[in-house]
Amino acid sequence: TITAIEPRSPAEQAGLSKGMRVLTVNGQTPRSLVDCHRLLLARATDLAVTLQVEDKGQRRSITVRMVPCKDLVKQRFGLTLRPLTDQEAAALGGKPNDAAVIEQVEKNGPADKAKLQPGLLLTRVDDLKGGDLLRAVKFVAAKRPGDRLRVGFLIPRNPGVGELGTELVAR
C-alpha cells in the first residue's frame, strides 16, 4: 500500500496516490516491500514502469516514467555529477563512493549562484556523507522550489583546506 507520494515526483504526475495498493510491477507480483523495490529497479535501461494498482476497489494500470538521478539533480540544482574513478579516489586516500566530482554547473542555476565550480568534489548532501552520498537522491527528490540543500565539498587542488560547505536553493 502506498503510504506517501513525493510532490512533483513521476509517481504523482502519473496519478499514483496515497492508499493505492500495488498489485503488480511490470506484470510481476511483489512478495514484499523489498521485492517491490527490486522489481522497480530491475528496469535500469527502460525507465517506464507499469504498475497494476487497486484504488477504492477498482483495478487499473498506471505507467510511471522514472527520472534518472543525474537528471533530477540537474533539474533541481543545475549541477552534473559523476562518481570518483578508482584512481582519483586512491590519489585522495579514499574510496570511489566517498565523493562525487562536479562535472558541469549550469550558468545562473542554483549551483552557480552558490559559487560551485566544475572539478570540486561533493562530499556531503544534507547529513549524508561519503558512502551514503548516492542515497542522497531521496533528499534531492523531496526538495521543493525554494527549499535549501546543504552540501559539503573539497577543492582537490588544495587538500589542506578541508571540507567547505554551502547551501543550494532548489528550483
Any idea which residue has 527502460 for its cell?
A: 46
C-alpha cell at 55: 484504488
Q: Please report the pLDDT score of residue 98 as a whole number.
A: 84
According to DSSP, the residues that pair with 24 across neighbouring strands are 52
In 10 A of CB 98, how many CB atoms? 19
- What is the distance, to the nearest Å, from the Cα of residue 32 to the centroid of all Cα atoms in its chain? 23
Please tell me the distance from the alpha carbon of residue 50 to that of residue 6, in angstroms, as a whole number: 18
CB 115 within 8 A of CB 166: yes
pTM, to two decimals: 0.70
Query: Nearest Cα to 144, choosing from 13, 11, 9, 18?
Result: 9
Q: Please report the pLDDT score of residue 132 as a whole number.
A: 59
Q: Quote the DSSP letter at residue 28.
A: B
pLDDT, one tens digit per residue, over 48-86 is 899 999 999 999 999 999 888 788 888 888 999 888 889
pLDDT, one tens digit per residue, over 87-130 is 988 888 888 888 889 999 999 999 999 999 999 998 888 877 76
